[in-house]
Structure 1
Amino acid sequence: MSTPSPHATPRPHTVYYNSACPVCEAGVCAMRARIAEADVEWVDMHSQPERLDALGLDLEDVRERLHLIDSEGQLQIGAPALLTTWSLQPRWGWLLQPLAWPGLRTLTSWTYNAFARQLYRWNRRRGHW
């Protein structure tokens, strides 16, 4: 068992995303530019699929929807993961808060899942793996 590097600082959130998807990569790049590096560990499962094994995550599921382990160690998938990640942006995070309100939360999740499903199918057709 390896010991953590004394210089490694644990990050409160870990985001699992698919850089092979051009839309996902663009979204993550935009978020990375606005979120402090100390707040999030970004795991590109396209280049590090072995990182999913320890968590029991399925590669195809992460290709379809954003996954996040939050600061409490809870797994968030899809819209909740996206909303949590966006909320970490100090200047713009508040813009998406209404999407997590009761009533809108269901619509947000449904819309995210429908979009993610179509994007996943598009990526498969285009061979973005």
Structure 2
Amino acid sequence: MPPHLTVYYNTRCPLCDAGIDWHRNKLLALVCAGTVEFRDVNEQPDALAHFGGSLDDIRRRLHATDEAGWLIVGTDVAIALWRLTPGQGWLAALSGNRVAVPVTRFAYDRFADLLFAWNRWSGRW
């Protein structure tokens, strides 16, 4: 059985919402089984406050908790989702290997910064 994963994402970001919607549809069996959950951070703005993250932190990058309650952030959430998503394991292996993950994290973080700035400029929150 795959590990439990609860993903917190921003529905007010059109790209984030579409990406999570795509994953939710691909992971429908795991969602129905309760193995993977997707939660809108705008409905639970302080859901991860005990980790010290602000609402803007969560809007900026994907956040998730695993079955042990550990916090996973950014690229590592994307890699975890790719590992679970049928047909996406190769992407997790390619971008999440020991050599590539620093580059993947850097690229993800820069893209997330730009997307966050665009959403704020567009008045989405």
TM category, shorter:
0.7 to 0.9
Q: Which of 7, 11, 20 is the equivalent residue of 2:12?
A: 20
Partner deviation per Cα, 1:63-93 (whole Å, 9 max, x = no partner): 000001122322111001111022111x223
Unaligned runs of 5+ in 1: 1-10
Residue 3 (structure 1) aligns with: none
TM-score (norm 1): 0.84
Paired residue type of 1:46 = N
SS at match of 2:24: helix
Instruction: Indicate if the aligned counterparts of 2:46 and 2:54 stay in contact, CA closer than 8 A.
Output: no
Stretches of 4+ moved more than 2 A in 1? Answer: 50-57
Task: Kindly report which structure 2 residues correspond to 1:39-58, keeping only aligned pairs within 5 A, or say none.
Answer: 39-58=35-54
SS at match of 2:47: helix
Unaligned runs of 5+ in 2: none
Instruction: Indicate if the aligned counterparts of 1:64 and 1:116 stay in contact, CA closer than 8 A.
Output: yes
Root-mean-square deviation (CA, aligned residues, Å) is: 1.5
Q: Distance in 2 between matches of 1:73 and 1:98?
A: 26
Q: Distance in 2 between matches of 1:56 and 1:43?
A: 18
Instruction: Indicate if the aligned counterparts of 2:60 and 2:116 stay in contact, CA closer than 8 A.
Output: yes
- Higher mean alpha-carbon deviation, 13-22 vs 45-54, is at 45-54
Identity over aligned pairs, percent: 35
Instruction: Please tell me whether Structure 1 or Structure 2 has the larger radius of gyration of its CA atoms.
Output: 1
Q: Distance in 2 between matches of 1:59 and 1:69?
A: 16
Give the total of aligned pairs: 118
The answer on 1:63 being equivalent to 2:59 is yes
Task: Kindly report which structure 2 residues correspond to 1:47-126, keeping only aligned pairs within 5 A, or say none.
Answer: 47-89=43-85, 91-96=86-91, 97-126=93-122
